Structure 1
Amino acid sequence: MLWFWCPRGSWPCKALTLSRSCLRLRKGINILISTPGRLVDHIKSTKNIHFRRMQWLILDEADRILDLGFEKDVTVILNAVNAQCQKRQNVLLSATLSEGVARLADISLHNPVSISVLDKSHDQSNPKDQVTQEVTPPQAADQLGGFAIPESLDQHVALVPSKLRLVCLAAFLLQKGKLEQDQKVIVFFSSCELVEFHYHLFLQTLMNRLRAPAPGQLPSASPQLAFLRLHGNMAQEERTSVFQEFSRSRTGILLCTDVAARGLDLPQVTWIVQYSAPSSPAEYIHRIGRTARIGCHGSSLLILAPSEAEYVNSLAAHKINISEVKMEDILSILAKDDCFKGRKRNHKSHPAGPQEIRERATVLQTVFEDYVHSSERTVSWAKKALQSFIRAYAAYPRELKHIFHVRSLHLGHVAKSFGLRDAPRNLSVSTAKKRRANLKRPGLRKKTQSTHHLSQVLRSEYASGLEALRGGRKAKPSGNLEPENPETTEDSSPSSPPWD
């Protein structure tokens, strides 16, 4: 009996209900693919499930299993399996070996053989071997000092000012989707709202502008530029349809969150663009792992602001070396597309200089701003996307706060990257201002907290609580710039787009 185990969200098919999976178990199976929670449900409630003839137990994406909080479920499953089956082969798979994964290996594996990918810095005495085997316990990634990256993967970084981020991303996608052939690109964003905003913005601006023929030219039959989106707030059927469509196509651009960073095998992906910087080196590795798979060649591009350049050094500390690409080289592609031509010049054969490139970038930025400001609903949608970006920016871990800090953002320039001409003034009052106000009056804050605590105690002891129900509570102001729970930032629910 072969047992395969993948974490929640990494299997693109629709899950079976508990009753239907019970019927399948009664008929007998050779391969079982399950999430930890569903398997624990069967162990507790299904009588006809047993592990006596099991030969393999495979734990895939072990680090993600721990991140999702399935450590207790793992213990329950291992105890149930060990009670019925002692002789079997256990396999633990993980792209990153953290301390939690090493602890899980100690629990689930006995006398493990560590199999790791070699790079050029290792011994080249036997070049035919692609892996090394050591009878040693797995070590954490911090102890190993780096990650294994395919040699066929080229990594690049571009330092782009905030006000030119949107134009730079659009120019890069135009180059890969329109001017080059057989390019398949995945763009990672930090939240669902950012995915929805950029997806509809590019559809309404880039796609419509490319379909419109230039003066004296015939309309194009079918532009190669095709956009798809994938994030956690989409229905399961829609996500499966997008996954299958992007897998079958030879070209295309997929805008997504980290829901596509793990567990999905998307063939022939040539470029990975990280428009939002990852929160850890492990997340960076998982994102770029969507390309250069099984010996294929691939490339990645990380877009950072000049104030975030130190992030490259933090990646280099984990032996992740990235080469820089100049922003001017990315924007120069606009000189090859007459759709974004500025004022007319006398000499047509004159090569495009920095001034013409800036003019064409201004034309493209104006296209985005004109569409965003075409109605109040599109302006509101852009403001919500901007607010989602700031929330995600405030949720970076503490060790990266000196690189990614909300105070280092120029709100007016960041607003430009969302097609807004000015920095919005009515986002909300940030929690930083509230903290500064509380620091100025610490005694009043303590007095208010103690009074509130005393009123709760008195109400619970002597009152019925109906007074609170009659009076009601004041609602929390919506749209805080900093999230209360950073884990919910990625899949924050976006409202209906105004362009649908």
Structure 2
Amino acid sequence: MVNKDWIKVTPALSKPVLRCIHKQGFKTMTPIQAAVIPLILSCKDVVAEAVTGSGKTLAFVVPMLEMLLKKEKESPLRKDFVYSVIISPTRELATQIFQVIELFLKEPELLHIKMALLVGGRPIDVDVDSISKGAQLVVCTPGRLEDLLSERKQLNLAGRLKELEFLVLDEADRLLDLGFSATLTTILQYLPRQRRTGLFSATQTKELQDLVRAGLRNPVLISVKEKSTISTPLALENFYVIVEPEDKFLFLLNFIRNRKTMKGLFFLPTCACVDYWADVLPLFIPDMKIFAIHGKMKQKRHKILEQFREADNTILLCTDLLARGLDIPEVEWVVQWEPPTSPAALVHRVGRTARGGAKGFSLLPLLPTEDSYIPFIKTNQKVELKDWRKSTDDIKISQKLRDKVLTILHEQQKKDRGILDKGQRAFVSHIQAYSKHECNLLLQLKELPLGHIATSYGLLKLPLMPEIKDEHKKQFIGPKEQIDFNSIPYKDKQKETSRLQKLEEFKKTGIWPSKKKKKMVQSQPWQQAKQNKEERKQRKKKRKEAQKGAEGKRGKKRRAVTQEEIDELAADVALIKKLKKRKITKEQFDDAFDVNK
């Protein structure tokens, strides 16, 4: 049985593709699919813009498979050629696309098509082997693809791409945000110009338009929006709530507790914040499974994401790593600690729920000083936020709850210095991230009551940082009793042994051993960091060559010149000058130099 709705809209899709579409329950085409698929099949380059969760992945997977089947009818697909490439900004999104295509390749008529997933976080030899075995379709991240093109000459990936039929840049605006502009330019130089290209994104930017001009030939621009007044899915309800800074965690904690069952994403400002709350949040909601994921995790990320997909009544603490493209249909709630650094990121965050027409909700707590963000985000991103206080769910915060939560947080830090350190790092990184907000005219660091925010984190003490003023120290509520911080141990025995040794030396010398001030280095885009590393490598190579040349010269020892030789040379020079001034004749000069002897 095939899906009749797809047959009506799309010209001549093959039976195996239609069969898989029907099996996966895609009964009707979304507007972006109906607009894009016929264009790609008619050999057009496409630039497609659509709200998150609108079905962009299927919009390029279906025509890609159709093109491979058509190509095979003309001549058998070769194992040593790559005919289709999909470039995605993150390994999570690349893996998700890979899994979607795998469903199609299970059809008997498509089993012979081989596919490879090329992503970072694993040895590059793994990807070299998968390509060497043969892959007509590749899903990859840009950094890994560039490495394989430029550094693995024995693979000759550039030669395998000479028959490329279709290139897809998925979440293209995110690719540029992550600093992959130069990488994409390099990749495009390896690819044949006679190809079809699809560029898919949720938003259009100037940088994206520059990429369009560089990589596409007379593309058709497609912009599909569900409604002109909003930029998020129609089935999504977005809420905000004004909370006092010291009560933000308490409010979010009670909010989660009030949901009997919940599957949600909890977006935090930084990786350090994720690490800290992943340790302490399970203390307050033991019946709920808490997962954590951020960009500094390498090997674990895929496994954690799969566990979250399979779990019920669970929360995934994350950074903006998961703000784009991730498709988990069961996610009901998106909760945020504070507004994201970029206003556009709010649209992508909340778009992780209400996918494929399902119902979804999001909640954004704001401080009293941040209330102007509500009309701003409505004007800037067409996202309307409703007041949560007007809902039927009344969340109460009592003084008893404040004291109890603070006591638990303080006790955990007293037991384990590791949690104490994580709390300090989380708070500092949070404040640093807040100072980099794009809309800093509305979200100003100087207006933040840092003492109250540190209280919300449940810190034992305020960290040493220039932003902390006397007024903030007065706001801060720490432990009631005096604490000897040197007596707080690490649970990790190895770290505790090392700390005690350093503490003994500190007591003797007054200087903490091996404590070096770390130079604050501003984070760089991946491509810029790689370029700087390459430049350092070249400078080091030149220094070595210069040093080797100097050593070679020093190896040839010159004979010392005697004073007699210097005097003789001076006399010869004097004779030459006399000859030029005609003070002596040519014969006298020849006699002096013994020319005629």
Q: Shared fold (TM-score greater than 0.5)?
A: yes
User: Counterpart of 2:94?
Assistant: 11
Aligned AA (2:226): D
Say yes or no: does 1:75 pair with 2:157.
no
Q: Is the 8 A contact 1:7 1:36 kept in 2?
A: yes
User: Which of these two proteins has the greater Rg computed from alpha carbons?
Assistant: 2
Q: 2:203 aligns with which of 76, 96, 100?
A: 96
| Higher RCO (Cα < 8 Å, 6 or more apart) | 1
User: Counterpart of 1:110?
Assistant: 217
Q: 1:428 aligns with which of 462, 465, 468?
A: 465
The count of aligned residue pairs is 370
Shift of 1:205: 3.6
The percentage of aligned residue pairs carrying the same residue is 30
- CA separation of 1:370/1:66 partners in 2, compared to 1, >3 Å: closer, same or farther? closer
Q: Is the 8 A contact 2:341 2:433 kept in 1?
A: no
Shift of 1:247: 0.8
Say yes or no: does 1:159 pair with 2:221.
no
Q: How does 1:110-259 map to 2 (within 5 A)?
A: 110-121=217-228, 148-176=231-259, 179=260, 181=261, 183-207=262-286, 223=287, 225-236=288-299, 238-259=300-321
Q: CA offsets, 1:330-353, max 9 Å, x none?
A: 6x456xxxxxxxxxxxxxxxxxxx
Q: How does 1:388-399 map to 2 (within 5 A)?
A: 388-397=429-438
Q: CA offsets, 1:443-498, max 9 Å, x none?
A: xxxxxxxxxxxxxxxxxxxxxxxxxxxxxxx98756x9xx652669xxxxxxxxxx
Could you say what secondary structure the match of 1:228 adopts?
Answer: strand
- CA separation of 1:43/1:228 partners in 2, compared to 1, >3 Å: closer, same or farther? closer
Say yes or no: does 1:47 pair with 2:152.
no
- CA separation of 1:329/1:243 partners in 2, compared to 1, >3 Å: closer, same or farther? same
Could you say what secondary structure the match of 1:313 adopts?
Answer: helix
Shift of 1:267: 2.7
What is the alpha-carbon distance in structure 2 between the residues aligned to residue 62 and residue 282 of structure 1? 14
Q: CA offsets, 1:425-447, max 9 Å, x none?
A: x51334999xxxxxxxxxxxxxx
Q: 2:140 aligns with which of 7, 10, 34?
A: 34
What is the alpha-carbon distance in structure 1 between the residues aligned to residue 246 and residue 86 of structure 2? 47
Q: Is the 8 A contact 2:275 2:422 kept in 1?
A: no
Aligned AA (1:408): E
What is the alpha-carbon distance in structure 2 between the residues aligned to residue 308 and residue 240 of structure 1? 35
Q: Is the 8 A contact 1:277 1:302 kept in 2?
A: yes
Q: 2:166 aligns with which of 46, 56, 68?
A: 56
What is the alpha-carbon distance in structure 1 between the residues aligned to residue 200 and residue 164 of structure 2? 19
Which stretches in structure 1 are left out of the alignment for 5+ residues? 122-145, 208-222, 335-356, 434-473, 489-500
Could you say what secondary structure the match of 1:279 adopts?
Answer: coil
Which stretches in structure 2 are left out of the alignment for 5+ residues? 1-82, 96-116, 471-513, 526-597
CA RMSD, 1 decimal:
3.0
What is the alpha-carbon distance in structure 2 between the residues aligned to residue 53 and residue 312 of structure 1? 51
What is the alpha-carbon distance in structure 2 between the residues aligned to residue 328 and residue 92 of structure 1? 40
Q: Is the 8 A contact 1:168 1:327 kept in 2?
A: no
Q: How does 1:465-484 map to 2 (within 5 A)?
A: 477=517
Shift of 1:268: 0.7
Greater share of helix: 2
What is the alpha-carbon distance in structure 2 between the residues aligned to residue 484 and residue 402 of structure 1? 25
Q: Is the 8 A contact 2:169 2:199 kept in 1?
A: yes
User: Counterpart of 2:444?
Assistant: 405
Q: 2:402 aligns with which of 339, 349, 362?
A: 362
Aligned AA (1:103): D
Deviates more, 1:4-13 or 1:367-376: 367-376
Aligned AA (2:188): L
What is the alpha-carbon distance in structure 2 between the residues aligned to residue 27 and residue 78 of structure 1? 24
